[in-house]
Structure 1
């Protein structure tokens, strides 16, 4: 049988030969290599990220510790009527909860600083993008992207440094804060700790400083002013730039209207009602410095201190107004560049007004408490008191003619000797030769110096007869305090400036220094009688105030370098000094001239207010 033959396969047409597929073992070797590279990149990426995180966070403060960080205790001084006088340290007000505040207070901050506060987790990417677009469009920085939580992190924990590292640290802390606290807790911390200019932290401190009210009583317009401050606390400070503060507050009110916190009409009304109370006295800084310097160890070191002082705001304003007017007018014409005034209560020594110069801002040196000058004839009351205590009386006679002691012959100026005059006339006309004779009658310089020390003048005193003409040196404050005994029946007082003290809201002991009997009431009455004669018919006539009993004494030093008047009126003792810091002579200015006139003008201005 024939063998069957299989059909031959038909050959395919000629074509480009296909690339042979790699062998299966090669594909299996490539997959692990790619996996290893991927794992390596991931690991090294994680290492690099961890290293970067360490670099950003290696000096990051511990949030738990920073929340309780210490600060400078604040000292707040108020005038006797409760009006704000001065602050120092880090000024915090009362710590308030959200429930304690009007709803428009937190609403103002949220509207202008972080409208998405309730929605983000500490970092607002939408806000950052919006700020970026706004800044690129404007060609400058017009909007920020920081959240309230980031601002809180910066204020609590970080420095104002501008760098990528600090921004990353701010973001990390913001995330921690969001994890640690609720939104209401964050807002409460922010409102109590945010810096709002002039040393104030928190809305209550700012409300008290700028508007004189608790944050509980802030109007929507006032809240808008305060909410506008974080952008630029110094530039937008209402005390420094009220017009800029109003403009910024208007922006905040418009933002509140956009968020629905206020109606547009209400926002406009609040903007129109904005008013700022007058700032504290510009020149009471000398008094504030004097009070702070006297605190010493009397107050707790780490507690906020509130001191209600003895300062009479009305009298202080009168002092400032009149001394400035006098130095700018007749004082300038007579070559007088500086002056000082102190007024205190004759019965207690409480200081009611103090000006240590013409302008505290240009010269904080206190000429009322720090400058020691010769008082001239303003020292004579102590000479006459020594004579009174030695047995003399105002109606007794004393020679007023020339006298020579050891080659020294004091002059009498324009006074023409009459032979003998009463002590009262000698005092009223400030007769030098009579004063020297009375010093001798009292026992010499030593007993006179003892009288002056007993009334509060510290000395040292020259041990020669020239002491009768005021050749010792005194401060204006010491001299005025010593005169108080002539007006209160003979009691020595110690000048002081604090009436009440509170530490962290609790009263602390701060008793006024006690009085001490320094002379017999009869001697004080005799001195008051002679001082009244000085104003009625003597060298101090320019100090007379119609309808007010005034007593006092003038004083002028050689070549008119210093001119003084110290007077007693209505339970007040007030002293005036005029002169120049370099002791150059004035043009004919004597104690009975411009100083006595300034005394009168201050009293008249204070009575008219």
Structure 2
């Protein structure tokens, strides 16, 4: 009979005086030990006991290190941060990416390992094999934590008495990159291991490798192998050879220490280590490794043709900065901040790449050019001459027998002279003193003493442009200045300023619509109404005088409204507003500008005649929206720029398209009223102040605008396909100079932009379905039906019931039963109170 083991008795049999809980506990532990270890006297039981204790301790520590939130974080996230992208409509009508959003200092190009062109195994890629050899040889075999790797690292570090080798698997690195900091302490390492186990349960090996290769930092602001491959070698990660792949994988432990740009020697040594590991793993032969290392070493600087201070931030996708920032400003709050920077959003917009590119090509150089024109520096005249006439003059010198025309100083010579004077001012003073020459330093001091005046003159000419489709309201292009700056990229797009005569069509269209459709109006305004174009004088309540003048300072007497708008006569606009009255004008103008009911109390249109001359501050978008109403048959337009938003997997998060299709569009003007104002504005472009905005073969309507003292120059116009509002002016109110008008400054760039933007689109005529206008031949002199003495006639457009029905015989010295409709000059000055203000 076997003798009972006293060790077992003393350890696992509780004393007789033990309580029930103690007896149960000891019995449970004893039975568990017997089940998993067997009798303790058997061989290997002690080692198994130690192993169980270690694993149990690790389990307890992992339980302490882990948190319930870790389960949610691992299972609720997609694995890695993805850049959000903004898409515009490309030349082929399909969406194209124009910009991306990433946290500051990062650049990333997302790759998908499973999407290989040849359908091959992604683990056969050279760059993947290189990272596995460098970081985790057992990646495909361990469950997230590599016990053998930990033991090996411990032995190496103990022998070296230093941390020479890490034991983190690629999965653990993913856990650290995604969820943890880089601090080195035991709790963080335990959480890293715990998260690695969860990640292995959540993702496949291919997915884990994809996450790693998309997030690993590789120096100079690059995150992920695609961004790094593009930055260092200007090729895709699939195209890397073994040596190039080794350069990238060598940087994982410390991108700054092993940067091939900043520390090429350290990088080369580490590349040799990586190639050696690839040989040990059987991925390449010794000969291949030697050839790769030799080739990389011989052409190291040629292959990596970059400055050590270069950053991948310069490679971020941002084709159209103004459009990008405008879209960003329109995003709902739930799609901003971290979600925008890391959420992989796909933001599909109405921005048209062709329109935006045309706007940048025309608007920005035009503004910079106008800035140079207005500088009074003597150098500027030569720069403008060179820009304008330099090529033509050189061509003439070659063709005709003429003496060469020499400029006094080129831009490069000017820059060199000023820089030389700044750097060697003291030396030049001494040289001038010794030689008795001209003291250039005194001239330099004079220039510096007048710095405040020069600084004022060097304020840049700025401006804004915005385009939209009149039928849908889709915004297709936006520009906010002469050069993109993060501080003020949108201030000019949103800023309100006086629009000058570009505001007149809003007043005229409202007056024609409301008096022509009203049974109670005392006076009916038509495009043929005669209005007295002569000086007008106001006496304000404070007894001060206000006398708006025509820009040309010339007056024509009685002229038709159509001609008054074509030539932008201020006296005609003021008398129209005075005689029709704000009751028939203001409300419709507010609807055209879409002033909401909530804001009308704050931005109510003043009841004063200066409104007719554009004294009310408006933004470019508000003006574009008002003119779009003219182009869209009198219906209101709802501008928008975001079509829909999806996540990285294509799931729709926001879709504005159904709402836009369902949204009702109020009829602000009748189709007939819209057709009449469009006809008037077409004359402005054909034969008036807007001739520079004409587009060959296209129907164009628009109006120039010039504010007091030439502070702002506007042109707002449209074709059947596109509406564009554009203004030019200084940020701080200041005159652009004599001759800086809407027709001379804004209309030309508007025309060039629209020509490029609409290139390739069919040219359509204006159409106004449902228009009830009546076309009547009238006498140009009187606006009435032509009589025997009428020398010139034309066809005019009228709302039903407002057309003339009688012949006016004043030209023949006879009489008529119906006098011509006329707004005459008043003999007495009138105060604002006379208008009911």
Report what 1:493 is aligned to: 637
Q: Are residue 195 (structure 1) and residue 199 (structure 2) matched?
A: no
1:64 to 65, 71, 96: 71
Q: Are residue 599 (structure 1) and residue 750 (structure 2) matched?
A: yes
1:146-175 deviation per Cα after TM superposition (whole angstroms, max 9, x unaligned) = 542231121233124x43457744764477
Report what 1:343 is aligned to: 467
Report what 1:430 is aligned to: 568
Compared with structure 1, are the counterparts of its residues 117 and 491 closer, same or farther at alpha carbon in structure 2 (3 Å cutoff)?
same
> Offset of 1:126 from its aligned partner?
10
1:163 to 179, 184, 188: 184
**Cα distance in 2 between the residues matched to 1:457 and 1:354:** 20
Report what 2:613 is aligned to: 469
**Cα distance in 2 between the residues matched to 1:385 and 1:311:** 30
Q: Where in structure 2 are the equivalents of 1:376-395 lying within 5 Å?
A: 376-389=500-513, 390-391=515-516, 392-395=525-528
Report what 1:26 is aligned to: none
1:378-427 deviation per Cα after TM superposition (whole angstroms, max 9, x unaligned) = 11111111232223332332111011233422121224101012212211
Q: Where in structure 2 are the equivalents of 1:230-309 lying within 5 Å?
A: 260=283, 279-293=318-332, 305-309=345-349
Compared with structure 1, are the counterparts of its residues 546 and 128 closer, same or farther at alpha carbon in structure 2 (3 Å cutoff)?
farther
Q: Where in structure 2 are the equivalents of 1:76-475 lying within 5 Å?
A: 76-81=85-90, 82-88=95-101, 103=122, 107-112=126-131, 114-115=133-134, 117-119=136-138, 122=145, 124=149, 147-160=169-182, 162-165=183-186, 168-169=189-190, 172-173=193-194, 176=197, 181=201, 185-192=204-211, 194-195=214-215, 219-221=238-240, 228=248, 260=283, 279-293=318-332, 305-334=345-374, 336-367=460-491, 369-389=493-513, 390-391=515-516, 392-407=525-540, 408-441=546-579, 443-458=580-595, 459-475=603-619
Report what 1:11 is aligned to: none
> Offset of 1:515 from its aligned partner?
2.9
**Cα distance in 2 between the residues matched to 1:524 and 1:266:** 73
> Offset of 1:548 from its aligned partner?
2.8
1:542-576 deviation per Cα after TM superposition (whole angstroms, max 9, x unaligned) = 22233333221111222222221111135100111
Compared with structure 1, are the counterparts of its residues 192 and 60 closer, same or farther at alpha carbon in structure 2 (3 Å cutoff)?
same
Q: Secondary structure at the match of 1:492?
A: coil
**Cα distance in 2 between the residues matched to 1:583 and 1:97:** 58
Report what 1:38 is aligned to: none
1:57-82 deviation per Cα after TM superposition (whole angstroms, max 9, x unaligned) = 96655643431356999754211231
CA RMSD of aligned residues (A): 5.4
Q: Secondary structure at the match of 1:310?
A: strand
What TM-score, normalized to structure 2? Answer: 0.54
Q: Secondary structure at the match of 1:552?
A: strand
Structure 2: gaps of 5 or more residues: 1-52, 296-301, 306-314, 375-458, 517-524, 541-545, 596-602, 761-837
1:345-398 deviation per Cα after TM superposition (whole angstroms, max 9, x unaligned) = 111111010112333344344135421111111111111112322233323321
C-alpha contact 2:634 2:670 (8 A) present in aligned 1: yes
C-alpha contact 2:172 2:192 (8 A) present in aligned 1: yes
1:196-235 deviation per Cα after TM superposition (whole angstroms, max 9, x unaligned) = 68999988xx79xx89xxxxx98445998999599589x9
Report what 2:685 is aligned to: 535
C-alpha contact 2:127 2:245 (8 A) present in aligned 1: no
> Offset of 1:109 from its aligned partner?
3.4
C-alpha contact 1:98 1:188 (8 A) present in aligned 2: no
Compared with structure 1, are the counterparts of its residues 66 and 346 closer, same or farther at alpha carbon in structure 2 (3 Å cutoff)?
closer
Compared with structure 1, are the counterparts of its residues 218 and 125 closer, same or farther at alpha carbon in structure 2 (3 Å cutoff)?
same
Q: Secondary structure at the match of 2:716?
A: strand
Compared with structure 1, are the counterparts of its residues 232 and 387 closer, same or farther at alpha carbon in structure 2 (3 Å cutoff)?
farther
Count of aligned residue pairs for this structure pair: 538
Structure 1: gaps of 5 or more residues: 1-46, 212-216
Q: Secondary structure at the match of 2:585?
A: helix
